[in-house]
Every structure is written in C-alpha cells, then in structure tokens.
Amino acid sequence: MESSQATGAPPLTAAGPQRRWGDRVFAGLTVGSGVTILALLAGVALFLLIESLPAASASPAELPEGKTLVDYIAPLAFGTILAATIAVLIAVPLAVAVALFISHVAPRRIVLALGFLVDLLAAIPSIVYGLWGIFVLGPAAVPVLEWLEQKLGFIVFFKGPASATGRTMLVAGLVLAVMILPIVSAVCREVFTQTPRKLQEGALALGATRWEMIKMTVLPFGKSSIISGSMLGLGRALGETMAVTIILSVSGIVTFNLISQANPSTIAANIALDFPESSGLAVNTLIASGLVLFAITLVTNLAARAIISRQNIQ
C-alpha cells in the first residue's frame, strides 16, 4: 500500500495540479462516506435517546398500563432474553454439526451447493417465517407440546397447560433457532476450514478416526468461533421481530412455562404490535424499550466481535 501510494503521486507535469485536485475530491468523498456511517450510528443512539427522554421523565400514571418505565420494560426484556436463549440452545449444536458436515464430512463436489442451501435459510424474509410458524409449525407442534406436558410436566418449563394452537414460547424459540442457524454455522464453518492441515493429518497419521481427529484438532481450534458465532446468533435472536410478533400469543406475564397459551412478550414484538396504534407518551415509551433492546444487542455484538478479533490476532 505504502509503495503504491508513493508511485500514485507522479512528478509534476502539465496535468499534475489538476490530477491532484481530482485526487483530493475523490479521497474526500470516500472519507466523507466513512464519517457519514459513523455519524449515522451515533445518530441511531442519539435520536433514540432524545425520543425516550419524555417517557423517562413522565410519571407512571401517564405511561401505558400505569407502570413505571422499568416495570414496563422488565417483563419484555425477560421475554426477549428467554426466547433468544431457547433459540441459541437449539441452534448452536445443530449449527456446529452443519458446519462440520460442510467442512469435513460432505463430499467435496457438493459442498458449494450445500452451503448455498444453508445460506438460503438466511435469505428468507422474517414475515414468511412468521406465517410458516403460525400456520404450519405451530399446529404441527401441538401433539409434541401435549406430550411434553404429560411426560415432563414436573419440570417448570413444561408445566402447561399445553397450548391448543402452538403459539408458545417454545415454538417461537424454535423458529428463531432456524433463523439464526445460518449465521452461527457460517462463522463456525469459516474457522473450521482453516484448521491447520498438518494438525489434522498428524492426528490421522497417529491412527485417529475422523471423529477423533475432529474432536482433537478442529473443535479445539474452532472453539472461540463457536462462542463468537453463538453470540452473533444471540444478537440476531434478541432483535428478531416479525416471527415472534406473529407466532407468540402474549399476556405480559413473567413465566418460564414454555408451552402454554400465556407468554411474556419480547421488546421487538411489543413494539411491532403496539406502535402503529400508539400516540403521545406511549410512542416515547416504546422508543425507550427500543433503546434498551439496542443496548442489549450492542453489548452482545461487541462481545462477539471482541472474541473474533482476538482470535484473528492469534
């Protein structure tokens, strides 16, 4: 880069000054775009904050449901984290296996096509996942929910009564899991394929089976990618809106019961449900909840990126 920059400024010729002028304008444009993007991100935080302030300073009686801002947002934050946690618990083991399948098990000729199929999962709009969840997966899940209530009802998560429509936290978490699987899997896959070949061949030369080789070389090498990929997935699941909005039947309660008709809502779903019909302070309250969501996802993503950049340095 440095040397090319030196050659990039040719000695002064007749056209010299003119060229430098063009260079300055073009460089200015690119720097301007970069600064615009940083300003945009700062603007997201700033404008959400400005529009949240009226809700923060209002008395509880003026806010929706007559609760304080904290009491209003806390159950939503609980629901958000619960749904995202279910999604991550289901998606990560599957995503790691999918990544291993593509990087180490599948025949080489079809690897590209398989990767494309997994990427397609990420390309499907969330509204379509929502419709699929409520009309297809939800009804199909009802017998499973009933079975869980009967056989595992002693566990707090499956206390029931099982929903008759499938519009439950477990189904919403399942759909979120499908939606985040591609991103988790993509992050893992990239690092798995970079496992040093000499380590893998060494393991095999010592007589390891393929699984032993994966367990001893690929997984330890990719450990931090599994963690960072999971956190990126968690960030996605926390902020996912439409699928949850459509699937979950909400009642605003706080419960760990994953299979009943009464579920806590999530921040994002609550905004999508209430925003179109809200006005005045209700709008400010919803924006304040959005700011909390922004903060939660920001922390998650920063942690994920910090892990990724540390692993890149190594």
Give the residue with the Cβ less far from other proteins, 54 or 160.
54
Residue 221 touching other proteins (CB under 8 A)? no
Q: How far is C-alpha 58 from the chain's CA centre?
A: 32
Applying the rule CB under 8 A, the residues between 161 and 190 that interact with other proteins are: 178, 181, 185
Dist. CA 101–CA 120, nearest whole Å: 17
3 state SS of 215: helix
Give the residue with the Cβ less far from other proteins, 7 or 59.
7
In DSSP terms, 263 is beta-bridged to 250
Stretch that binds other proteins, among 61-69, 154-162, 211-219, 221-229 (CB under 8 A): 211-219
Residue 110 touching other proteins (CB under 8 A)? no
Binding other proteins (rule: CB under 8 A), the pick from 89, 127, 156, 254 is 127
Buried b (16+ CB within 10 A) or exposed e, 21-58: eeeeeeeeeeeeeeeeeeeeeeeeeeebeebbebbeeb
Cβ 91 to other proteins, closest distance in Å?
9
Give the residue with the Cβ less far from other proteins, 151 or 210.
210
Dist. CA 91–CA 26, nearest whole Å: 45
Residue 105 touching other proteins (CB under 8 A)? yes
Residue 67 touching other proteins (CB under 8 A)? no
Give the residue with the Cβ less far from other proteins, 35 or 156.
35
Residue 156 touching other proteins (CB under 8 A)? no
Binding other proteins (rule: CB under 8 A), the pick from 279, 312, 313, 314 is 279
Residue 120 touching other proteins (CB under 8 A)? yes
The dihedral formed by the CA atoms of 112, 89, 304 and 220, expressed in degrees to the nearest 10: -70
Residue 98 touching other proteins (CB under 8 A)? yes
Residue 149 touching other proteins (CB under 8 A)? no
Cβ 153 to other proteins, closest distance in Å?
26
Applying the rule CB under 8 A, the residues between 259 and 278 that interact with other proteins are: 268, 271-272, 275-276
Dist. CA 167–CA 83, nearest whole Å: 13
Residue 126: name the closest of 272, 240, 247 by CA.
Answer: 240
Residue 143: name the closest of 151, 131, 132 by CA.
Answer: 151
Binding other proteins (rule: CB under 8 A), the pick from 58, 74, 81, 121 is 121
Using the structure block, give the residue that is written with the tokens 């189904």: 171
Dist. CA 128–CA 229, nearest whole Å: 24
Binding other proteins (rule: CB under 8 A), the pick from 66, 68, 71, 211 is 211
